[in-house]
């Protein structure tokens, strides 16, 4: 990964983990193609990055949008050497109240969209004999937790894709890994806190404390700590097929 101005694509780059990953990659000399639904958030991320960026607002659950994303990057700069598939979301509901639409929404965003991005990125990476694919998954990719059956299924699924792709590509110079955070201090966790407040009547502080208490080190993970793990997967070609836990030590593997 020693070319001048290497190229990376980061999905879900408007805030939280995606923003931290984009900033980290920019500091390491990467040109950044940033995508999410929210253009204003993407531009805020771009302003924080060093070097050249490209802002491409898109709904990553659209197969056509993924093609446009990659085509735009390749037309302007060339093929990406790094893909960080970070876009994702979650929701909580008892399994008997989880609707087909909610189930499909989780699989579309957390499983099918990153699979499509990986599928689109791989041919050029294999042709170049090098590439790094990192999916931001979750500790929910490895263990179940009440009320998040659809989210957990989607994250288990994408970890399976990562492991299979890594085995398939191991001799090509392309690595595929997942980073599996616990509760991270991001807008997504803030949404989880709001849902707990709405469902239980607890205060926001109590709800946040409950999430902190779920982690072995008693605090939320920072977005920068997740970005550091993503960077390790990018920088080290011997890391492949892994689901790297970033949760303060709660889930040991």
- Catalytically active residues, by annotation: 151
SS3 category, 149:
helix
Which residues make beta-bridge pairs with 181? 246
Angle at 245 between CA 239 and CA 249, to 5 degrees: 130
Nearest to 211 by CA among 229, 185, 177: 185
Q: What are phi and psi of 86, to 5 degrees?
A: -105, -25
Question: Is residue 186 packed enough to be buried (19+ CB in 10 Å), middle (13-18) or exposed (0-12)?
Answer: buried
Taking residue 243's Cβ as centre, other Cβ atoms within 10 Å add up to 22
Q: Residue 9: left (phi > 0), alpha (psi -120 to 50), or beta?
A: beta
Give the N- to C-terminal CA distance of the chain in Å, as an integer: 28
- Contact of 179 with 140, CB cutoff 8 Å: no
């Amino acid at each position: 990964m020693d070319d001048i101005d290497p190229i990376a694509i980061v999905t879900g780059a408007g805030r939280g983990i995606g923003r931290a990953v984009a900033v980290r990659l920019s500091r390491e000399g990467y040109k950044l193609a940033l995508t999410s639904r929210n253009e204003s958030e993407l531009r805020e991320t771009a302003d924080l990055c060093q070097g050249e960026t490209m802002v491409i607002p898109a709904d990553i659950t659209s197969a056509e949008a993924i093609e446009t994303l990659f085509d735009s990057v390749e037309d302007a700069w060339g093929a990406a050497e790094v893909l960080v598939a970070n876009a994702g979301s979650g929701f909580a509901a008892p399994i008997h109240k989880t609707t087909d639409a909610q189930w499909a929404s989780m699989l579309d965003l957390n499983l099918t969209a990153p699979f499509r991005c990986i599928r689109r990125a791989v041919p050029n990476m294999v042709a170049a004999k090098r590439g790094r694919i990192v999916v931001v998954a979750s500790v929910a990719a490895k263990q179940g937790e009440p009320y998040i059956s659809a989210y957990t299924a989607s994250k288990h699924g994408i970890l399976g894709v990562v492991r299979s792709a890594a085995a398939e590509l191991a001799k090509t110079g392309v690595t595929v890994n997942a980073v599996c955070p616990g509760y991270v201090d991001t807008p997504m966790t803030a949404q989880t806190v709001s849902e707990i407040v709405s469902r239980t009547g607890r205060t926001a502080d109590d709800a946040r404390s409950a999430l902190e208490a779920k982690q072995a080190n008693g605090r939320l993970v920072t977005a920068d700590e997740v970005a550091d793990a993503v960077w390790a997967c990018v920088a080290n070609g011997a890391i492949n097929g892994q689901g790297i836990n970033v949760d303060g030590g709660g889930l040991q593997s």
